[in-house]
Amino acid sequence: MNAKELWQLAENLFSKRQSLMSLWQETSEHFYPERADFTYKRTLGTDFAGNLMSSYPMLARRELANQVGAMLRPANQEWFYMVRGDQEDRVVPDHEGRLWLEWANNTMRRHMYNRQAMFARATTEADNDWSTFGQYVMSIRVNNVGNALLYRNWHLRDCCWMENEEGRIVFFARRWKPHARELVRLFGDKVHSEVKKLSEKTPFQTVDCVHIVCESDLFDGDSRGMPYHSIYLDVQHEGSVIEEMGQVAQEYIVARWQTVSDSQYAYSPSTVAALPDARLIQAMTMTLLEAGEKVTNPPMIATVDAVKSDVSIYAGGITWIDRDYDEKLGEALRPMTRDYARGLPYGAEMLQATQAMIHQAFYLNKLTLPERAPEMTAYEVGQRIQEYIRGALPLFEPMEHESNGQICEETFSTLMRAGAFGSPLDMPRSLRGADVQFKYRSPLHDAIEAQKAQIFREGAALLAEAAAVDPTTPYMIDAPTALRESLQGLGVDEDWLRSEDETRQLAEKAQQQQEQQQMLMALEQGSKVAANFSQAEKANAEAQR
């Protein structure tokens, strides 16, 4: 397909998801009102939550988004680290290789958290999109100046994509409305002639554009051997091509939480489960507010022809009664009685139950690490941790693979192409030609990795008991390797550990010193025996005289 045919494909994809836009609009109105502009254009100064009676669904979404960022990407600690990709086959880098990986970690982290990269802003927006809609779109590239990375989160309203038969995204399109002045600044003479006129007369008028990134197999033109092709189109001026070029990276990452078959779009299991309760809680809150108003400001019953003015039930109000009315016939004005004593508590209980359901739908009851009581045994603590892992995995596992995985891999690739890690020839030999993969630190992984240390303690205790029966049993375990992996599981820095070669040399030196000491002791003991024997012979000779 050529550029205009790809544009028609993008328009077709945009038109097919109109019903999904309506769902996203309703979902955002309940849980993420700041993002509720899928089906209409919002003006500045709009009250985001003006149509809501209760803010609880919105607070639950905010809490989940904050927890996702705090637990999976904590800014106060290193939440990712690199490993050699074939470590599963026990091909591990040497100490020099691990030191290089730690240096690359620090370099990558420094670039990510550079203020100009806007990483924190993009990921915060992405976490809220993930929690509400089950997906987000982020771009990662070097900024226009070329001195820093740039992370941007894009509105789902403006993005569409297509999968191939393997479930991999091969086509992505993003609608874009830059100012005419900005378009000329970015692309210069490549823009349409009308855009140049606009930049001179009305420089801040927007121009409808679209950016398409697809795999090169979909494009008929020359991508110069690159795996992806990038096309910028001026939709407002007959779809004229502004720029098209092959590129190494996809640039956009689409992180998806829960997918269903036959759809390239994902869903948030939290909002799918909580949307009925969100509708209910708004209606219930409105009903309870009305009931509470009727308790404090009850509806009044007035006797016909007895009340001569409007009923004034505000503070200090006066209602005029016919002076000829006989009060023996009943009060001329009285409140309507209702049994609010039973109804209001029942409604409050229903409201609390609905809030609890929303709380569970957003996994907020699964995000707290189990507390260790002083009387708990190691086995009980291990079981509690296992329960926490089982409950938290459905939330953390997709986020790590889909979100953290794509962010780290795309960032590493972008920095590698930009030369941030130096020449590949400067890498240690144990890493050259190897596939670098990422692993992550989080409360969940800390709990999993900490189990290695617990298993090591339990294994050491079993070996001590077995050694009392059979002294050869301690040779069954490789204690240095088990201890090294246990320390790494606890998060001990690689700089704190000696390399395997250095550890082996120190162990051999200690063994040699021990052998020498034993030899000296043996010689000393032998010399004492010889001296005693000599003294015995001398004494025997003197006795024979």
DSSP 250: -
Query: What is the pLDDT, as a whole number, of residue 539?
Result: 67
How do the pLDDT tens digits run along the chain, 545 residues long?
888 889 999 999 999 999 999 999 999 999 999 999 999 888 888 888 888 899 999 999 999 999 888 888 887 778 888 888 765 455 567 778 888 888 999 999 999 999 999 999 999 999 999 999 999 999 999 998 889 999 999 999 999 999 998 889 999 999 999 999 999 999 999 999 999 999 999 999 999 999 999 998 888 877 778 889 999 999 998 888 999 989 888 899 999 999 988 899 999 999 999 999 999 999 998 888 888 777 777 777 777 777 778 877 766 677 778 777 777 777 777 776 666 666 677 788 888 999 999 999 998 888 776 666 666 766 666 667 677 767 777 777 788 888 999 999 999 999 998 999 888 888 888 787 778 888 887 766 666 666 666 666 666 777 777 777 777 766 667 767 766 666 666 556 656 666 666 777 777 777 777 777 777 777 677 666 666 656 766 766 666 65
Residue 424: CB partners within 8 Å, gap ≥ 6? 432
Specify whether the CB–CB gap between 453 and 467 falls below 8 A.
no
Do 309 and 172 share a structural domain? Answer: no
Among the listed residues 100, 184, 111, the one whose alpha carbon sits nearest the alpha carbon of residue 417: 111
Among the listed residues 67, 151, 99, 153, the one whose alpha carbon sits nearest the alpha carbon of residue 428: 99
Continuous segment of H or E residues that includes residue 12: helix 3-16
Dihedrals phi, psi of 206, to nearest 5 degrees: -80, 155
Do 132 and 26 share a structural domain? Answer: yes
- Please state at what angle helix 56-72 crosses helix 269-296, rounded to 10 degrees: 140
Specify whether the CB–CB gap between 228 and 248 falls below 8 A.
yes
Q: What is the C-alpha separation between 540 and 536, in angstroms, rounded?
A: 6
Asked whether residue 37 is assigned to any structural domain, the reply reads yes
Q: State the SS3 of 166-229.
A: CCCEEEEEEEECCEHHHHHHHHHHHCCHHHHHHHHHCCCCECCEEEEEEEHHHCCCCCCCCCEE
Do 128 and 153 share a structural domain? Answer: yes
Query: What is the pLDDT, as a whole number, of residue 68?
Result: 87
Domain end position, chosen among 460, 477, 497? 497
Specify whether the CB–CB gap between 392 and 366 falls below 8 A.
yes
Q: How far apart are the first and last CA of the chain?
A: 122
Task: For 225-329, list the strands marked E by DSSP.
Answer: 228-234, 240-247, 252-256, 258-259, 266-267, 300-302
Asked whether residue 184 is assigned to any structural domain, the reply reads yes
Asked whether residue 106 is assigned to any structural domain, the reply reads no
Domains in the chain, number: 4
Do 457 and 516 share a structural domain? Answer: no
Question: In terms of DSSP bridges, do strands 228-234 and 149-154 run parallel, antiparallel, or are they unpaired?
Answer: unpaired
Residue 512: CB partners within 8 Å, gap ≥ 6? none
Do 309 and 435 share a structural domain? Answer: no
Do 206 and 222 share a structural domain? Answer: yes
Do 319 and 266 share a structural domain? Answer: no
Do 538 and 399 share a structural domain? Answer: no
Asked whether residue 512 is assigned to any structural domain, the reply reads yes
Residue 276: CB partners within 8 Å, gap ≥ 6? none
Give bridge partners of residue 306 from the DSSP assignment.
Answer: none
Specify whether the CB–CB gap between 70 and 123 falls below 8 A.
no
Do 504 and 490 share a structural domain? Answer: no
Query: What is the pLDDT, as a whole number, of residue 293?
Result: 75
Rg, the chain, Cα only:
36
Do 230 and 140 share a structural domain? Answer: yes
Longest dimension (CA), the chain: 159
Asked whether residue 54 is assigned to any structural domain, the reply reads yes
Do 151 and 30 share a structural domain? Answer: yes
Other CB atoms closer than 10 Å to residue 541's CB: what's the count? 9
Asked whether residue 231 is assigned to any structural domain, the reply reads yes
Assigned token pair, 226: 């690159």
Do 240 and 139 share a structural domain? Answer: yes
Owning domain of residue 8: 3-75+113-272
Give bridge partners of residue 174 from the DSSP assignment.
Answer: 159, 211
Asked whether residue 99 is assigned to any structural domain, the reply reads no
Q: What is the C-alpha separation between 89 and 232, in angstroms, rounded?
A: 44
Domain end position, chosen among 337, 352, 367? 337
Asked whether residue 370 is assigned to any structural domain, the reply reads no
Q: Which residue has the tokens 């919105």?
A: 58
